[in-house]
Amino acid sequence: MALAKRIIPCLDVKNGETVKGTNFVNLRSAGDPVELGKLYSEQGADELVFLDITASHEGRKTFTDMVTRVAYEINIPFTVGGGINQIDDVTRLLNAGADKVSVNSAALRNPKLIDEITNRYGSQVCVCAIDARYDDDEWYCYLNGGRIRTEKTLMEWAKEAQDRGAGEILFTSMNHDGVKTGYANEALSELSDALEIPIIASGGAGDIEHFYDAFTIGKADAALAASVFHFNEIAIPDLKQYLHTKGIPVRLS
């Protein structure tokens, strides 16, 4: 029996509201994150991701009170990321009700953070988020919400994150983000073949066929999207029914 593929709405949070942009810029408001999260839970989303998208850049901590409100309102697993720099941040967010934490910039700067999280709380709690852009015939990882390029490649860093104990890789293609032309399926497939942990596809969803391609061509274990859900372009029940009819194993409500 194949594991069900997961549909994960992502809520980028800035100053307490959900925002969405294109290629990581030109942000526009999409509503209250707690209310949106509750709606997606009711519609059949498998998980949710809440990212404080400016936390690393501005040196802030993720809003713990929002996490508490989300935990009170929804009954599906959710991941929180943004501004997680040390194990105390993880403890605080898990105590507030988060099921998993997503680490990105801080883990790239200090890879031992992944070891610390997984040693204390287990691999299932640690999602390693990777923002990468295809530059000069290679995928390079970026820091601080896509602002600073590093010399680490996507494959190199994803393998190291797995080796350090990360439970999942959340790969966002900066080239595809918000453009709605489909996921970076070639890179996703390469990641899936090289790693043993689940790969979450992110960046590029524009129509329901893109999700199908991510699961078949890209071999992703989960597909994450934002604007197509936030702006009512794709309804989660319709998406899951479509995938089901195409033979993709999904959890139907």
pLDDT digits (tens, 9 = 90+) for 120-161: 999 999 999 999 999 989 999 999 877 899 999 999 999 999
Q: What percent of the chain has pLDDT over 90?
A: 71
Position 31 pLDDT exceeds 80:
no
pLDDT-based confidence at residue 21 (cuts at 50, 70, 90): low
Model confidence pLDDT, tens digit, residues 77-90: 999 998 889 999 99
Of the candidates 187, 252, 178, 183, the residue with the CA atom closest to the CA atom of residue 223: 183
Residues that are catalytic: 12, 131
Cα angle value 7/9/10 (rounded, 5°):
135
Position 62 pLDDT exceeds 60:
no
Q: What is the mean pLDDT of the chain?
A: 90
Say which residues have a Cβ less than 8 Å from residue 91's Cβ, sequence separation at least 6.
none
Buried b (16+ CB within 10 A) or exposed e, 137-166: eebbbbbbbbeeeeebebbebbebbbebbb
Q: What local confidence, expressed as pLDDT, does residue 29 receive?
A: 65
Residue owning tokens 């590029």: 204
pLDDT greater at residue 15 or residue 108: 108
In this structure, of 40-54, 160-174, 191-205, the range with the lowest mean pLDDT score is: 40-54
What is the average per-residue pLDDT within 17-26?
Answer: 64
What the block records as the tokens of 159 is 């393998």
What the block records as the tokens of 174 is 């900066």
Q: What local confidence, expressed as pLDDT, does residue 233 receive?
A: 94
What is the average per-residue pLDDT within 22-41?
Answer: 76
pLDDT-based confidence at residue 59 (cuts at 50, 70, 90): very low
pLDDT-based confidence at residue 63 (cuts at 50, 70, 90): low
Q: What local confidence, expressed as pLDDT, does residue 176 receive?
A: 82
**Residue 127: Cβ-neighbour burial (10 angstroms; 0-12, 13-18, 19+):** buried
What is the average per-residue pLDDT within 176-180?
Answer: 80
